[in-house]
């Protein structure tokens, strides 16, 4: 393998490495992207960042994309040259949307883009390279594979790893399974990112009553639109689901379902077959209570959303909120008044080589 190009350009999506604090093995890619350009040079690495993170950029040699590229080139027996990176970042930082995973995956893809045998750097090989740098999680997996994925890592005997992620590099091997989830066609997501410059307690208290009423009214409308799909899924357990107004029979039936499967299994079912169960599948009151002191504004909003019937969770371990529903203009305006940026998202493919 040898280097045949001195320039490349890639883009990598934002990700949720967990869908809620207690669901650590399901990841999702989102329609927010960082784009990185590369030019091989001589001398020290140089990095220019536009957008998110540009005001607080690390020293170039410590940038995760630079470090990832240097590591990969060395392990592949290729010369470690100087480099110039241009980063145009749209993924918000330090809020649970995988900006560090995006930087690592950008480095992996830039190496793949400049070599003469890119087909040898399969997703499995890229994951193994990443695993030698950082602990793998569903965020890195989803940034590479795209979509929504189940991921777990386990130790197996060598002869039993043929169908798993198995590449020997740096004396370390991983045996991990990736399952891409075909999410329901009707599933849409919205990302809410706190804007600290706009948030204050007085503002949130002033808006809270009006927001709560908007949430309830808008969710009732969503429930009416989704009535047909809800009824079809309800037949599977002998009840009909009517928007957010759960009947006693439905609650009892759901308690039985939850008693038969764990929370991750219910979430998998809700994501792929029956999105109307997402509210129950993402319940994590205990985890929210623990996060109250760290993220008071986000916890307050998340609790208000869920109380009004909106399925919503924290993205990863940060304070961005992932809502499994569309946010219309009225509610979007209210959320912005409370200091939250609103990003509509769709299911997207994984990281891409653009040039």
What single string gives the DSSP state of each residue in 84-102? EEEEEE-SPSSSSS-HHHH
The whole-angstrom separation of Cα 167 and Cα 171 is 10
The H or E element that residue 149 is part of is: strand 148-153
Mention every residue, 6+ apart, whose C-beta is less than 8 A from residue 287: 20, 21, 22
Measure the CA angle with vertex 177, ends 173 and 181; round to 5°: 150
- How far from the centroid of its chain's Cα atoms is residue 65's Cα? 19
Residue by residue, pLDDT tens for the chain (355 residues) are 899 999 999 999 999 988 865 555 789 999 999 999 999 998 889 999 998 877 776 778 889 999 999 999 999 999 988 999 999 999 999 899 999 999 999 999 999 999 999 999 998 889 889 988 888 888 899 999 999 998 876 654 444 433 333 444 444 455 567 888 999 988 899 999 998 644 444 444 445 545 555 566 655 555 444 433 433 333 333 333 334 445 666 665 555 545 445 677 888 889 999 998 999 888 876 677 777 778 888 888 898 898 889 999 999 888 899 999 999 888 888 888 888 999 998 878 999 999 9
Tokens of 244: 């957010």
pLDDT attached to residue 201: 44
- The residues, any chain, with a CB within 8 Å of residue 178's CB and separated by 6 or more, are 141, 145, 149, 150, 151, 165
CA dihedral angle for residue 164, residue 64, residue 13, residue 285, rounded to 10 degrees: 80
Supply the pLDDT for residue 216. Answer: 60
Gap between the Cα atoms of 17 and 137, Å rounded: 6
């Amino acid at each position: 393998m040898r280097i045949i190009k001195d320039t490349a350009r890639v883009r990598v999506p934002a990700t949720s490495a967990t869908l809620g604090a207690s669901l650590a093995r399901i990841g999702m890619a989102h329609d927010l992207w960082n784009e990185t350009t590369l030019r091989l040079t001589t001398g020290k690495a140089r990095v220019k960042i536009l957008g998110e993170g540009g005001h607080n950029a690390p020293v170039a040699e410590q940038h995760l994309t630079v470090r990832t590229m240097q590591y990969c080139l060395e392990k592949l027996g290729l010369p470690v040259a100087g480099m110039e990176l241009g980063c145009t970042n749209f993924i918000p930082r330090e809020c649970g949307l995988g900006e560090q995973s995006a930087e690592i995956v950008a480095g992996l893809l830039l190496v793949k883009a400049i070599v003469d045998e890119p087909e040898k750097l399969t997703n499995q090989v890229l994951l193994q390279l990443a695993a030698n740098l950082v602990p793998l999680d569903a965020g890195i997996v989803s940034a590479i594979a795209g979509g929504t994925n189940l991921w777990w890592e386990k130790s197996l005997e060598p002869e039993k790893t043929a169908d798993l992620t198995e590449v020997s590099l740096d004396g370390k091997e991983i045996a991990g399974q990736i399952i891409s989830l075909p999410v329901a066609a009707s599933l849409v997501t919205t990302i809410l990112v706190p804007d600290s410059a706009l948030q204050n307690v007085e503002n949130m208290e002033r808006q809270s009553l009006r927001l709560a009423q908007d949430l309830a009214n808008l969710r009732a409308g969503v429930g009416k639109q989704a009535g047909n799909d809800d009824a079809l899924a309800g037949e599977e357990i002998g009840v009909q689901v009517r928007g957010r107004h759960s009947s006693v029979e439905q609650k009892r039936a759901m308690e039985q379902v939850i008693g038969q499967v764990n929370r991750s299994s219910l979430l998998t079912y809700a994501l792929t077959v029956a999105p109307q169960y997402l509210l129950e599948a993402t319940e994590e009151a205990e985890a929210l209570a623990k996060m109250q002191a760290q993220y008071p504004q986000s916890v307050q909003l998340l609790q208000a959303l869920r109380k009004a019937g909106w399925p919503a969770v924290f993205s990863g371990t940060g304070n961005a909120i992932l809502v499994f529903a569309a946010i219309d203009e009225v509610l979007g305006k209210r959320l912005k008044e409370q200091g939250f940026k609103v990003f509509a998202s769709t299911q997207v493919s994984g990281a891409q080589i653009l040039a």
